[in-house]
Structure 1
Amino acid sequence: MSSTNAFSAASVPVSRYFSLSAFWFGSSFHWLLLLLILMPASVVRFVGDEQKGTYLGLMLGVGAVIALVMPPLVGALSDRLGRRMVFLRWGAVINVLGIVLMALAPGYWLFFLGFLVVQFGNNLATAPYSALIPELVRPQERGRASGIMGFLQAGGQLLGALCAFVFGLLQIPALASYASIAVVLLLSALVTLHFIPEPQPRERERAPSIPWWRLFALQAFLWVFVTRVLFSFGQYSVQPFLQFYVGDVLNRQTDAATVTSVMLLCIIVGSILSTLIGGRLSDRVGRKPVIYVAGVLMAACALLFLVAPNLPVALAFSFVFGLGYGAFVSVDWALGSDAMPSAKSYARDMGVWHIAFVAPQMSSAPQGLLLDWGNRQSEHLGYTLVFGIAAACFLLGVVLIRQIRDVR
């Protein structure tokens, strides 16, 4: 089935868009449990409390190198072969093998190796997979498709946070969390592989060829890339260290992993409420107004976390942050898809754009050092620094998004 008869009809069933983005559900479940719950807890168990930020930041920074290099290369290979789904299939399998290695690792360095295998497999799967929305979905429907994708991402995160909360409450061993990651990831991959046919390369063959180095000479692509870097940098200034913030600042007496999962639930519930609305709204009024509101909400909440007097107030801020984050995610993929210049190289170009997602992850190592250094200088100063950086990035992203020519 070609892209022209799969998604180009005037009325595309909603179920088709859910099948298209099903793997994002599993991948979001995967990364939430891994990055925010399992990895911080395991690092503390392996290296102790004193250097937790440094060692977690090191792992995330090195893993980000794989996520930085692989997507453009794998995407270019996918474009050349004219295949998408084979990469999704084998990438998911390798990803699960890495999860197994992390689950059984007796120490930090083998755990580190397992994480690198996870990064390799996940990027092998998602680099060509990222091309499917710009390749299959008409521009006037991309807000809708992006909103459904954001909804499924938030749904995967919600399931992950619920699992983390229940497993923590019942004191179920971490091995169960790793097993749930493997099962959900594989099932979501199977849904996409079963219901979405391999796109035919006819439109790619007719499209003009644009060298990758010329992408940044295109104004739309350049500013979409820059603003996505800023939003991602803000996200990764805080996200890896959220569990540490909960334990050190909000509630020292309660299990930090459990409280973190409750905060995540509040963020995710807020994001679910805004994803579908934001995506559909952007098809009518444009992408940028939605991002303006989303960025301001996220920046304000990043600063308000620093002055939250107690856990209930922090949870309320989490919900509002989720409203902003969900609106941003619902529009972000549509905005990136609008900026792709040629059907001949959708996977490669989405891979280059994907660098904007993952390059900021490399800041986790210096951010971890900054966190530990700041907290040694003064109580909670490290958290003030990293949360303040996040707010500044969100606001700068809102300012610069004005440079992008809007598409409806």
Structure 2
Amino acid sequence: MTLSSGPGAGAGFSSPKLPSPWTLSAFWFGTAFLWLVLLLILMPAEVVRFVGDADKGKYLGLLGGIGAVVALILPPIIGSYSDRIGKRLPLIRLGLIVNLAGLAVMGYAAAATEGLTGFWIYVFGFLLVQFGNNYATAPYSALVPELVPVAQRGRYSGVMGMLQAGGQLLGGVAALVIGLLKLPDVLSYGIIGVVLLISAMITLRGVPETQIKPNPEAHRQRMSIAQLFAYQPFLWVFITRALFALGQYSVQPFLQFYAGDVLHQKNPGTATSLLLMSIITASIVTALIGGRVSDQIGRKPVIYVAGSVMAVMAIALLFAPNFYVAVAIAMVFGLGFGAFSSVDWALGSDAMPSSRSYARDMGIWHVAFVGPQLIETPQGALLDWGNAQGGNLGYTIVFGIAAACFVLGVLLVRNVPETVKTHSAEAATKA
């Protein structure tokens, strides 16, 4: 069993030429665009149209929860398969095709169906999107720890965070334009498909297939899942990432409802787009810087500052007296979020214990981000219940939960062994 977080440590592996961080991370740009427009703009509006205003939280939570089950189960399975056959890019291509098909189904349901029947067709399309995207990103997630030397992972993670923020920013702009011009629903899903396809092709054409020999016995040579979680760097990185994701998904799916119910915006979709663009624009400022800084001083100090800012701003949003103050608060939150996202992937890559199972282990690590999406279902019901009591109590509860998760994540990231930081520093010195 090989314990190494540097590429090339596994048997039968040789690293091809290192692609640029922009090429390597291009597909994340399209994926970020996809999820922002779907989760925060299109899906909340479509759910209201399908089921009405009274049950919007419950059905939006149900939709997100169903999709999260796929995202929870699939990446480790496909990652393990990718490790075994020694291929990454063919699986990314196949997942992309399924993803695009799912977008077509969702567009059809939004444009041509109504009521609960339409809702369930929409759910089916969303499941295809989740299946295809996770099928593609499971092997894709292995490329950073597999190809990028430890000393450069902060820079690559920073570029990834910057491109993800850029994809989200483009998504916010697209949503704003779609809302202002009142474009047909089906066109929105077509735009998502085009952006996703172009970004995927940049990565697929610019990243060489990793030279991994097929290894049918890989499952016997790698750590078991129990051993993986017994490895302290991985365990604590998994836990802290899950906490940050819990904070994010306590609020993110309901941001459009917050804009209408708390900020009293007449066009909640447009207001949500502006809030998101404020967060994302600010996050771009700190994304690239945070990754580079983490290569010098370690990952954890960046997380401490970023998480603390996110927690404070999550609470501050509850007390925003008007939309303009909320935008300012969102921008400060974005500074913290950008710094966190710039370090997130580097921290996870550093914690991978074995080069024999990068795709499987990154898939399991990714569960820490996807699994918390399941909180959307109970959070949606909690939001509806709290608001029914009066005084927007539901928003106070879910925003408070978000802040608590960010604080706990900051406190527990201290448990990530310093060997992760030391390992990165030593590698940087040697480089």
Q: TM-score range by the shorter chain?
A: over 0.9
Offset of residue 139 of structure 1? 0.5
Match for residue 428 of structure 2? none
For residues 402 and 214 of structure 2, what CA distance do their matches in structure 1 show? Answer: 40
- 1:4-403 equivalences under 5 Å are 4-7=15-18, 16-105=20-109, 106=113, 107-201=118-212, 209-252=222-265, 254-403=266-415
For residues 156 and 200 of structure 2, what CA distance do their matches in structure 1 show? Answer: 18
Offset of residue 228 of structure 1? 0.5
Task: Point out where structure 2 has 5 or more consecutive residues left out of the alignment.
Answer: 1-12, 425-431
CA offsets, 1:102-121, max 9 Å, x none?
01111111001110111000
**What letter corresponds to residue 150 of structure 2 in structure 1?**
P
Cα distance change of structure 1 residues 269 and 204 upon mapping to structure 2, 3 Å threshold: farther
**What letter corresponds to residue 335 of structure 1 in structure 2?**
L
For residues 210 and 381 of structure 1, what CA distance do their matches in structure 2 show? Answer: 46
For residues 364 and 176 of structure 2, what CA distance do their matches in structure 1 show? Answer: 36
For residues 133 and 248 of structure 1, what CA distance do their matches in structure 2 show? Answer: 41
For residues 46 and 16 of structure 1, what CA distance do their matches in structure 2 show? Answer: 44
RMSD (CA atoms)? 1.6
Offset of residue 212 of structure 1? 2.3
SS at structure 1 position matched to 2:15: helix
Cα distance change of structure 1 residues 33 and 358 upon mapping to structure 2, 3 Å threshold: same
TM-score by length of 1: 0.95
Offset of residue 5 of structure 1? 4.2
**What letter corresponds to residue 238 of structure 1 in structure 2?**
V
| Identity %, equivalent residues | 60
**What letter corresponds to residue 199 of structure 1 in structure 2?**
T
For residues 260 and 309 of structure 1, what CA distance do their matches in structure 2 show? Answer: 16
Offset of residue 203 of structure 1? 11
For residues 140 and 377 of structure 1, what CA distance do their matches in structure 2 show? Answer: 53
Task: Point out where structure 1 has 5 or more consecutive residues left out of the alignment.
Answer: 8-14
SS at structure 2 position matched to 1:250: coil
8 A contact 1:75–1:128 mirrored in 2: yes
CA offsets, 1:58-98, max 9 Å, x none?
01111111000000000000000000001110101100100
For residues 217 and 305 of structure 2, what CA distance do their matches in structure 1 show? Answer: 39
SS at structure 1 position matched to 2:417: coil
Offset of residue 3 of structure 1? 5.2
For residues 340 and 130 of structure 1, what CA distance do their matches in structure 2 show? Answer: 12
8 A contact 1:204–1:343 mirrored in 2: no
Match for residue 10 of structure 1? none
**What letter corresponds to residue 166 of structure 1 in structure 2?**
V
For residues 405 and 269 of structure 1, what CA distance do their matches in structure 2 show? Answer: 33
8 A contact 1:3–1:136 mirrored in 2: no
For residues 166 and 204 of structure 1, what CA distance do their matches in structure 2 show? Answer: 49
Offset of residue 204 of structure 1? 8.6
